[in-house]
Structure 1
C-alpha cells in the first residue's frame, strides 16, 4: 500500500471521502497537463481549470477512476454535453464517434512481436493500426473478448488477396461506435436509452453510466451493429429515432453543439393530478394532517419517511418537487390508481395520497421489519429453509392476487418485498406497475435489469409471466443470499440474459423440487413459465414435506434417546 493511503504513522487514517476527493484532484490535474501538452490553447484561459475541476466534482469518483486520461479531450466532450443538457432539460443531447477496440493480444503487441506474441497472433493475422480512438473508458475484458472472437480466421473466408496472403486473416474492418448521452436524470432512463439504440439496430456491448450531484446523467454506450463507420449517418438515424418516439418524455431532438445552446423546456403547471375515479375518492389526504417523524430512505426522485396519520404509524413516500415532470406525475397517478384498488394480506396496504402538487405523496402502512433485500445483503441474514419457504409463499400469494386483479408489477425484486412486525412479507412499490392491456401484452420497458425477463429487456411484447421470471431470480436470491450476476454490471447482465441465455447458477444441496422450480420460472419462452397459482401450490407442498421431515427427526431423536434410559 502506498504511503498516501497508509497516512503518517500515528496520524488519523484518511477517510474514504478524502481519498475520493484526492483521486478526483489527481485525475483532473493529469487531464489539464495532457491538454496543455497537446497544445490546447484554452487550458490557460481564465476559468478553464476551475471549470474542469467543477466537472469532476459533479460526477462520482468512479468517473475519475475509469476515464481514459490519455484521451483528455474526451473529458471536454463530456463536460460540454452536460452543459448542453442543462439548457435542454428533458431533451437528450448526444455525441457519436467511431471507436476502435483491440483484443489484449493485439493491443499489447508491437510491430516486432516476441516469439510468444507470434504464437498468440499467428492465427489472428496481420496487425493493422486504426485511425479511430479507443473508447473513452478504455477496453474492458468484454470488448477485448468480442474483438478476439470477431477476428478469428475460422469465422472468415479462405480467399487470398493480391499479395498471396489469407485476406481473412487480416485484422477485419470492425465498425464500433461510442454514443454518449446526457439529459436530466429520471426513472427508467437507462432502459429508454437502450431501447432507442435497439430501435436503430445497435447492439450494446458496454455501458458506463454516471449521475451528477445536480441530477443529470452521463451515459456512455459502446455499440456495434451499424454497417459502416459513417458517423453522420448514425447520428441522423438516432436523431430520427428520437424525434419519432412519442412515448418517451423528450419531445424534440437535441444534438450537442459547442456554439448553439438549446432553449430550455418548461413543464406545464398542474393544480392537481387527474386520477381515474369510481366515485369513492375517500383516499385523498390533506397534507397538513400528516406528521413526518424521520427520513427512512432517500432517492433521486423522492424520499421515504416514517410518520403518523390519525394516530397510525405510516410510511410516506414524497416526490421531490424540484424533480417533478409530466412523466413522473403520470407514474405517480398510475401508482395511486392501482394501490387504491387492491387489498390483500401480502400486499402493502394503501392508506391514502396527496395529489395536489407540489405536495405529492403516497401513504401506506409502515413495515417495521424493513426489506428482504436489507435482510439478505446488509444484515447478511440467511433464511433457514422453513422461513425461506414462508417468505416465498407470501410473495407468491401476493403476486397471484395482483395477477388475478390483472395487474403486472414489473419490478419484482427483494428490495420491493417488505416485512411487518409479525414477519409477514408484503409486495410493495407499484411505481412502475400497470394494469395489463386488454390485448394481454405490453411493450413499455421497465424494471431492474438483474431481475428483468428477457422479453422486457428486448422491448418485445410481454405479459404477466414477466413477473414470474423476476420471482425466479428472487427465489434464487433467497436461497443464496447473493446479488444476481454480482460480477457483472446491470447492463452486462441484461445483455448476457438476452444474447447468451445467462441465468443464475442453481445452488447445490437445495431441495430437489426447488431446483426444478427455478429453471421453470426463468424459461426464455414465457408460455413455459408456471402461473403463480401453481407456484404457490408447489411451495406449500415443499413446506409440508420439510415440516414433516423435521417432525420425524424430532420424534426419531426422542425414540432413540428413550432406548438409552434404564429399563429399556
Structure 2
C-alpha cells in the first residue's frame, strides 16, 4: 500500500527470483507485457491501471492500481453478510468484466475469488492478469501454474482434448466462472475440503463436478435452480459446448430477476 496524489494505491512489485540472467530477463519481459495489456483496459468491473512506479523499490518496477478498501470479494461477502450482499449481482458484474476481456481479445487465465476485489461502491474489480493470454493464439503461456480447483479439464490434460499445447482460452475462463459461482455462495474453494488437489484433478478429468450446495453450505443463502443450470452449462467437459461469457450475462440477468 502507498499513496499517490493524496490517494491510497496498491503496488504490485515484480518478484525477484535467483536464477540465470536469461530467466530474470524473461520475468521482466512478462511483467512489461502484463503492464502493456493492463494499461489498455477500461471497464467499470476491471481494476484500473494507474501506471508504473520505478522508484519505490528501485531498480525493481511496480504496477500501480487504486487501493481497494473492501479487499477481496469473499471477505466482502463475509464481512457484510448481515446487510444482505446480493451474490447474484456480484456474479453478473464478474461476467460483464470477463466478457469485456474476451471481447477485447484477452483471456484472464486465473479467475477465482482471490483475484476479484471490491471497490468502495461495492462493485467487483477483476484483477491479477499475470496469466493473461491472447485469444488468437499468437502468444501462449507455457506455464501451467494456476489454481487446480478452478482449472478446466483441457488444461489439466490437453492431449485428451486433442490440444497440441497447453493454452488458456475463453472456454477455460468460463469453466473457472462456474467454480467462482460456487465459491461466492459457499465462501469455500470448489470441491470438498477433504479432497486433495490430486483427487480433484482426477475427478475433473473423469467429468466429476461438485454437487449442488445446500442452504446450510451457502451460509443460509439459496442457490437458485436457474443459477445451478447456468453453472452446469459452464463446466461441461467439452470446451466448445460451454456457454460464452456473453451468454452468461444474458442468463445472469434472468437469475437476478428471479
The change in CA–CA distance for 1:355 and 1:530 in structure 2 (over 3 A counts) is farther
Give, in whole Å, the separation in 2 of the partners of 1:384 and 1:505: 28
Note the residue ranges of structure 1 that are not aligned, 5 or more in a row. 1-305, 546-568
Distance 2:41 2:109 in 1: 16
Greater C-alpha radius of gyration: 1
Alpha-carbon separation, structure 2, partners of 1:323 and 1:399: 34
Q: 1:359: how far off?
A: 1.9
Distance change (3 Å), C-alpha of 1:331 and 1:492: farther
Instruction: Work out whether residues 133 and 141 of structure 2, in 8 Å CA contact, stay in contact via their aligned partners in 1.
Output: no
Report what 1:464 is aligned to: 170
Q: Find the residue that maps to 1:362 and give its secondary structure.
A: strand
SS at match of 1:447: coil
- The residue aligned with 2:61 is 360
1:510 aligns with 2:223: yes
Distance 2:246 2:173 in 1: 13
- Matching residue of 1:407: 106
Classify 1:383/1:446 alpha carbon distance in 2 versus 1 (closer, same or farther; 3 Å). farther
Does the 8 A contact of 1:351 with 1:364 survive in 2? yes
Instruction: Flag structure 2 segments of 5+ consecutive residues without an equivalent.
Output: 215-221
* 1:5-154 to 2 correspondences below 5 Å: none
| Partner residue of 2:3 out of 281, 297, 308 | 308
Q: 1:330 and 2:37 equivalent?
A: no
SS in 2 for 1:482: coil
Return the TM-score normalized by structure 2: 0.82
Rounded Cα–Cα distance in structure 2 between residues aligned with 1:308 and 1:448: 31
Please provide the CA RMSD for this pair: 2.6
- Provide the residue aligned with 2:195 in structure 1: 488
SS of 1:359's equivalent in the other structure is coil
Q: For residue 487 of structure 1, report the CA deviation from its aligned partner.
A: 1.5
**Alpha-carbon distance, 1:496 to partner:** 2.1
For residues 409-488 of structure 1, the aligned pairs below 5 Å read: 409-438=108-137, 445-459=144-158, 460=163, 461=165, 462=167, 463-485=169-191, 486-488=193-195
Which of 234, 238, 246 does residue 533 from structure 1 map onto?
Answer: 246
CA distance in 2, matches of 1:478, 1:524: 22
If the length of structure 1 is used for normalisation, what is the TM-score? 0.39
How many equivalent residue pairs? 237
For residues 383 and 407 of structure 1, do their structure 2 counterparts lie closer, same or farther at Cα, with a shift above 3 Å needed?
farther
